[in-house]
Copies of this chain bind each other. A is one copy, B any other.
């Protein structure tokens, strides 16, 4: 089933690959170069360090969770001089803090558009405005941000934007991709950090010929090509709006059930993190979803483990799925002794849906 008969050094492959890169540009809404790599998103994060910076470069990391910490680790491994602006889990780093930290020496700023460990979203638009005025480049991990929040790559001056096949792009994992601004390419000319497998200049040159530098994960490319067709038919704007509506409905349901949101101040739409009721380990909820229903929701990561559950809204996911998830959650909470009137959360999501679809119909007239 998984076997592919496309060999990666054929015209069929080159046609497929050019189409994928062009479709990625289209759905990301940018004419910047978009390159693909066979790796997880973390590989593309590493590429964004090694291709644009040199040892000792001053950079700023905006860290608001586990993936922010990954930038900190990468900066350390590659000898960058990093100023870390840290926000507590569930919160975000404000553009004001970035404004104060930026100096004439700053060569780069790293941030998550959507911090997947907490569900919080950074104001990358304002950050782009700030960084654009300096010599630094803004590197945005948008692995769960793309397709779940508006990201106007060029208008907002986002120099490097990283995505992955397995999130909003509805495909299996195995591929990451990034858009690269001319300013970032100018940085790359001076960057001396070592790189080989993740060599973006080499990748750009080969992509221009419809080829990847190294043997790519062909089955994931084939799946991604189909997913991109679907995303183009739906429209990226509608996809983002749908994720936003789902996230709002989830927050309404959680609130109706008396549950506390984990990132109430800057909630993203890739996922919603909800605190487990006091005294209940969120791992029990995750296990029950799996055991009772074969459903997957995620536990907190790192220090958040046992404290929160994370409900995803991205990818091939819509309201019927959400209604079902909330209904399951109600049953699980009740089974663990949390007072629940069945249907309360579902009804809140339904009401939200009914109002939103009504509003949308009016808009469409």
Binding site for B on A (CB under 8 A): 1-4, 7-10, 38-43, 46, 73-74, 77-79, 164, 166, 171-174, 193-198, 213-220, 222-223, 226, 290, 296, 298
A4 to B1, CA, bound (A): 11
> Which residues of chain B come closer than 8 Å to A213, judged between CB atoms?
42
Q: List 27 A-B contacts (CB under 8 A).
A: A2-B172, A3-B223, A4-B172, A10-B296, A38-B38, A38-B39, A38-B173, A38-B174, A39-B43, A40-B197, A40-B216, A42-B213, A42-B214, A77-B196, A78-B194, A78-B196, A166-B215, A172-B217, A172-B219, A173-B216, A173-B217, A173-B218, A174-B216, A174-B217, A174-B219, A217-B217, A219-B219
Assess the B217–A220 pair: CB atoms within 8 A. yes
Consensus secondary structure, chain A interface: loop
A342 to B105, CA, bound (A): 72
Assess the A195–B77 pair: CB atoms within 8 A. yes
Assess the B219–A223 pair: CB atoms within 8 A. yes
A1 to B223, CA, bound (A): 8
> Which residues of chain B come closer than 8 Å to A220, judged between CB atoms?
2, 174, 217, 219-220
A40 to B226, CA, bound (A): 23
Assess the A3–B172 pair: CB atoms within 8 A. yes
Closest B residue to A4 by CB, please name it: B172
Q: Are A39 and B78 also in contact (CB < 8 A) when A10-B296, A174-B216, A219-B172 are?
A: no
